[in-house]
Structure 1
Amino acid sequence: MSVSSTRSSEDIDELEAVSWYHYDLSRHAAEALLLSNGVDGNFLLRNSNKGVDCFALSVRAKDSVKHFHVRRQFGRYSFGFNEFPSLQDFCSHLANQPLLGSETGNLIVLRFPYPRQVEEPSIYETVCVHTAMQTGRHENDLVPNAPALGTKEGYLVKQGAFVKNWKQRWFTLNRYELKYFKDKMFVEPIRTLDLTECSAVQFDYSQERVNCFCLVFPERTFYLCAKSGAEADEWIKILRWKLSQVKKGR
C-alpha cells in the first residue's frame, strides 16, 4: 500500500492543490527528473517512505540533487528549524526563495517549483538510476565512490576515424563507459570510451549533418549525430553530468 493511499481525502485534496507535489515519486526518480530536465534551483515535494506524515523536498543544486525532510504533525508542517501552521504557509515560505544549508555547507536557493503537469522528456523514461549500498538502508550507508549513475542507450550515427563516412552504431552508456556496437544484437562492442578521459561534450556545427555533437578525448574527437535535436540534447545533458561527476572525483 502506498503512503498516499493511507491519507484522508481531505489531505490528498490539499496536497493536489500544490502543483509541484509529485505524489509517490521515488528519491532516485526525482534525481533523474531534476538532473535531466531541471535547472539549478528547481524543487519539488514528494512522499517520503518514513511515514504517512513525512515528505521530502528535493532540490536541484547545480549538478546534484539535495533532499530535505518535511514533517506534518497535528496539521502543522515542520521544515528545518521552522514550523508552519498550514500547508499554504509552508508553500508561501518556499515561494519567497529561501536559502537552505546543505551538509556540505553550501547554500541552496529555491528558485523554481517543478510542476508535475509537464510533458516529461524521453530521457526521464530511459534513464535508469542505480545506487550501490553497503549494509542497511540508510543514505549514510551509500558507497562513497558509487553514487547514483544514469544509463542510456540508443542508435547514433558516428563518423569514421580515417575514412570520414558515417555509419549507424548502437551506443550504451553505463557508469563512465560509453560503448558502441555494430548493431543492437551484438554482444561485443567495437570500442569502449572511458569518460574519465573525456574533456568536453558539446554540440558541433562543423559537419554537414544536423543534430551533431562531439566528445573530445586527448587522442581523438568523436563526432556523433542523433536523429533529432532533442535526442542530441539528451545525450549531451547526461554525458555532461557524467563529466561533472568525474571532476568531483566520484
Structure 2
Amino acid sequence: MSVCSSTRSYGDDLDELDWYHYDLSRHAAEALLLSNGVDGSFLLRNSNKGPDCFAISVRAKDSVKHFHVKRQCGKYSFGFNEFPSLQDFMSHFANQPLLGSETGNLIVLRFPYPRQVEEPSIYESVVAPSLGTKEGYLVKQGAIIKNWKQRWFTLNRNELKYFKDKMFADPIRTLDLTACSAVQFDYSQHRVNCFCLVFPERTFYLCAKSGAEADEWIKILRWKLSQIKKGR
C-alpha cells in the first residue's frame, strides 16, 4: 500500500470549481448539457465508482460522453496522464482532444458548465402564472415494452398527469415535477417532435404532434421547474 505525502485539502480544491456539480446523476448531466450546453460544454460530477472517483461529462454534437478521473495522492489521473489539479486537467484537454470518435469528431473541453445558471428570462415572458396549466394529447413511450401510445396529459400546479384518453377520470399516473431534474428536446429515440422529462428513477419520452406543440410543452414545464427552484 502506497502512502501519500500530500496533505492538500481536496474539498477546497473542488469547491473552487464552479463547474463541479457534486452528486449530479449521469442522466441529469446529459439532460443539462443537451438542453442548455453546446458542443464542448462540460462539467465534473462525482462517480459511483468510489469516493475518489469523478466523471467528466462532455457534450459532443448531439450526445454526451463520460470519462472517469481518479484522484490519488493529490493528483488527478486520466488514462496514462496525471495532473496536479483539475484546472491543469481542463487546460490540457482544452487544446488536446480527450478522444476521437469513430466519426472523426474530436471531444474537447471548451465551455465549463457552471453549477449556478440563471433561469432564462424567456420562461417568464412566455408563460405567466395564470397560464401555468396545459392539456393535450402526447404520444408516450412505454416503460418496459418500448412501444408508443397516445395518452391525454394534463398539467396543473406541480403535477403532470396522463390518462388513457380524455374521457377517463382517473389518471394512469401522476408525475410530481418537484422530483424532475430537467426537460429537454430529445433526439435519441429517432422520432420527430420528441422531448423527455428526467426523473431519478426513469426518463419519460413524449412526442407532440408538431414542433411548435413540443416547444410549448417544454417551455411551460421548464417554467414550472424554475418556479419550484425558487420555492414558489
Q: TM-score, normalised by structure 1?
A: 0.46
2:181 maps to 1:179: no
Please list the CA deviations of residues 31-80 of structure 1 after superposition, one character each: whole Å capped at 9, or x if unmatched: 11111222222111111111111110101112211100111111111123
User: Structure 1 pair 195/79, CA: closer, same or farther in 2 (3 Å)?
Assistant: same
Task: Quote the RMSD (CA, aligned, Å).
Answer: 13.7
Please list the CA deviations of residues 73-96 of structure 1 after superposition, one character each: whole Å capped at 9, or x if unmatched: 111111233211223311322343
User: Structure 1 pair 149/89, CA: closer, same or farther in 2 (3 Å)?
Assistant: farther
Tell me, in whole angstroms, the C-alpha distance in 2 between the residues paired with 1:150 and 1:31.
Answer: 27
Q: Tell me the matched-pair count.
A: 227
Q: Which moved more, 1:170-179 or 1:227-236?
A: 170-179
Q: Which residue of 1 aligns with 2:221?
A: 239
User: Structure 1 pair 98/92, CA: closer, same or farther in 2 (3 Å)?
Assistant: same
Query: Which one has more relative contact order, counting CA pairs under 8 Å at least 6 apart?
Result: 2
Q: Note if contact 1:169-1:181 (Cα within 8 Å) is conserved in structure 2.
A: yes
User: Structure 1 pair 109/210, CA: closer, same or farther in 2 (3 Å)?
Assistant: closer
Please list the CA deviations of residues 203-223 of structure 1 after superposition, one character each: whole Å capped at 9, or x if unmatched: 999999999999999999999
Q: Which moved more, 1:225-234 or 1:6-15?
A: 225-234
User: Structure 1 pair 108/123, CA: closer, same or farther in 2 (3 Å)?
Assistant: farther
2:206 maps to 1:197: no
Tell me, in whole angstroms, the C-alpha distance in 2 between the residues paired with 1:27 and 1:7.
Answer: 28
Q: Which residue of 2 aligns with 1:23?
A: 22
TM superposition shift of 1:13: 3.5
TM superposition shift of 1:101: 3.1
Q: Note if contact 1:69-1:79 (Cα within 8 Å) is conserved in structure 2.
A: yes
Tell me, in whole angstroms, the C-alpha distance in 2 between the residues paired with 1:245 and 1:2.
Answer: 50
Q: Which residue of 1 aligns with 2:2?
A: 2
User: Structure 1 pair 166/13, CA: closer, same or farther in 2 (3 Å)?
Assistant: closer
**Residue 237 of structure 1 aligns to a residue in which SS?**
helix
TM superposition shift of 1:119: 2.5
Please list the CA deviations of residues 102-135 of structure 1 after superposition, one character each: whole Å capped at 9, or x if unmatched: 477753233222111213579999xxxxxxxxxx
Q: Which moved more, 1:211-220 or 1:75-84?
A: 211-220
Q: TM-score, normalised by structure 2?
A: 0.49
Please list the CA deviations of residues 141-196 of structure 1 after superposition, one character each: whole Å capped at 9, or x if unmatched: xxxxx999999987899999999999999548999999997987847999999999
Tell me, in whole angstroms, the C-alpha distance in 2 between the residues paired with 1:209 and 1:102.
Answer: 24
Tell me, in whole angstroms, the C-alpha distance in 2 between the residues paired with 1:41 and 1:166.
Answer: 33
Tell me, in whole angstroms, the C-alpha distance in 1 between the residues paired with 2:67 and 2:213.
Answer: 32
Q: Note if contact 1:58-1:66 (Cα within 8 Å) is conserved in structure 2.
A: yes
- 1:58-207 residue pairs with structure 2 within 5 A? 58-96=57-95, 98-102=97-101, 106-119=105-118, 171=153, 186=168
Tell me, in whole angstroms, the C-alpha distance in 2 between the residues paired with 1:192 and 1:156.
Answer: 15
Tell me, in whole angstroms, the C-alpha distance in 2 between the residues paired with 1:24 and 1:167.
Answer: 34
